Amino acid sequence: MNAIISASELASDLAGTTPPVLLDIRWQLSVTKAAGEPPFDGRAEYTAGHIPGAVYVDLDQELASPPGARGRHPLPDTARFGAAMRRAGVSADRAVVVYDGGQGWAAARAWWLLRWAGHPDVRVLDGGLPSWEGPLETDVPAPAEGDFTPEPGAVELLDADGAAALARSGVLFDARAGERYRGEVEPIDRVGGHIPGAVSAPTNENVGADGRFLPAEDLAARFKSLGATEGAGVGVYCGSGVSGAHEVLALAVAGIPAGLYVGSWSEWSADPERPVAVGPDPQ
């Protein structure tokens, strides 16, 4: 099953007899705003206009636990996540499509969580809402309660020790911007740099100018050149397990399974006992 879906394919599926459950995951990384500038409000963006039938899901509240020792976006409580998905109409035997405002990170986080929790049919709208050429609506749907019950473990989840081990035995990709990997800047976490042995692979290089993924063969060639050769274990981390999910999605498009270290740099760097590497060299 392809992990992504085009806008034209989605329009066709929504017009079919068994349309997918559609989830709107609009979100932005929290950064300091200019004086007087309001913070990003995904729900307000949703209510101003969304793909017909889409249900809004809040990444910070429903796709993550509160920030803490396990990072800025730890795994959500399984029962709470399941309840949120059922409220949105998610059932085990019905396809799900997720989208966001175009960056793809938030939609990929929802895709990864649903796959990790055992849902068999989840896809991301390639290019997000900007790729949609159909009408938008402001009505908020009231879907029938779904029956999805999470069964975690369907895809690989890495912890800090597992990520460190994979950086030695296989390939661990750092999906953040190169300057954060090198430790030149660190706008959010306690210290800059990367997990020793990790390879820089910024996730924004997996998409074109329109925000859509590069062709699968191009992605496969990119990851192979960075060390994801046949038989090698592959893992990904980022700042807090959001953009890293987007890289796992890109790897899936390329036909390469990969684990995700959800705690990522926000968990790793918070522990002063964990080693930190800086500069362009993985070690």
Q: Is 238 a catalytic residue?
A: yes
Cα 140 to Cα 46: distance, rounded to the nearest angstrom? 9
Cα 266 to Cα 192: distance, rounded to the nearest angstrom? 10
Cα 261 to Cα 165: distance, rounded to the nearest angstrom? 12
Q: Are 257 and 249 in contact (CB under 8 A)?
A: no
**Active-site entry in 84, 164, 238, 252:** 238
Where would I find the H helices in the chain? 7-14, 42-48, 59-62, 78-87, 105-116, 160-169, 178-181, 216-225, 243-253, 264-268
Dihedral angle computed from the Cα positions of residues 241, 245, 246 and 252, in that order, rounded to the nearest 10 degrees: 160
Cα 226 to Cα 221: distance, rounded to the nearest angstrom? 9
Cα 260 to Cα 2: distance, rounded to the nearest angstrom? 19
Q: Are 215 and 130 in contact (CB under 8 A)?
A: no
Measured CA to CA in angstroms, residue 200 lies from 53, 171, 191, 196, 226 at distances of 38, 10, 17, 11, 8
Catalytic residue set: 238
